[in-house]
Chains A and B, each alone.
Chain A
Amino acid sequence: MARDYLGEFEHVTVLAILRLGDEAYGVTVRREIASRTNRDVSIGAVYATLDRLESKGYVKSRRGDPTPERGGRSKRFFQVTAKGILVVNRTQKAFESMIEGLDLVRSCG
């Protein structure tokens, strides 16, 4: 079986879900990514990535209860699976291995 790795935005999204724990749903995931990476992220980009991650089995979702501030609509909470943890670790190690020994500050200067 081919060893799978996460794409850059998939990696960021999985890390955001892990940081948020039980409170990971569309709004919080989008805000977490926006505030930590300092980029404008659309809810569509987040859900397109979550949909892809879910189809690969790296995250799973469940529906919460409907709330009035959402017009009676329910939240969809996301959680990283064991397979997801494995792939995020593998991707992280690949990044660290690639960055090892590089002096990025000097390279830019």
Chain B
Amino acid sequence: MNGRSHSAEPPRLGAWILSLFLPAEYVESISGDLQEEFLQLRTKSGEAFARRWYWRQAWKTVARLAGRGFSAAPLSTTGAIVAGLLLLRLVHSLPDRLLSALTDRYLFYWSDHLHAYLWLLRALPIEYLAGSAAVGFLVAVAAKEREMIATTALSTVLFAMAGVASVWVVASTGDSSFLWNLPRQCLDPLVIVIAGAIVRNRRSQTRSSHSA
């Protein structure tokens, strides 16, 4: 024994990832199958081997069935992703437009209350994140049983766009400080995936309370 707590349960994080990404109709049977084999392997070959086997199976299974989930409903899933991109464009332009409209209208007020204006300016990233979360929720709800596939795909597209844009700016200006913005830009995709996970968890809870 190495002092670590040994559990008869498979890795919790792995089981949670499976429950998020698998098509709803297969979560119970696949999670059960993997747990059954995990317990048998644990007895036969030891905890470490069984855990490694479980993680390998979990990743392969998510990759195979997420792809299958997309190909089973490509139009609705793609529609949810495209609608999400358009919504993000709209939602992300709102705080700027609102702030511009307010400063134009109440110019004297802002010149007297510069701190309030600066506070609003600093809060813009939070407003962007709130907008991204709202879009993530909407996409997850619209994608029905494929919440995580749609939100993960949307996040991947956003992440790729941010990466390409940063590299392009750095290449054209020679100013590598733009790359420091990349981690902040990763927050949007992350928030969208979290929104997808929340919707998926909520639906799973509702489903299990109905079947109980």
Contact = CB atoms under 8 A, between A and B. Distances in A.
**Interface range, B side:** 20 to 34
A42 B62 CA distance: 10
Interface stretch (B25-33, B98-106, B123-131): B25-33
B107 to A, nearest CB: 60
Tell me the dominant secondary structure on chain A's binding face: helix
Contacts of B61: 42-44, 47
List of 3 A-B pairs having minimum Cβ-Cβ separation, nearest first: A44-B61, A73-B32, A44-B64
B153 interface: no
A67 B35 CA distance: 11
A74 B28 contact: yes
Interface residues of A, number: 22
A108 to B, nearest CB: 31
Contacts of A43: 30, 33-34, 37, 57, 60-61
Contacts of A69: 35-36, 39
B105 to A, nearest CB: 57
B26 A51 contact: yes
Contacts of A52: 68
Nearest to B34: A43
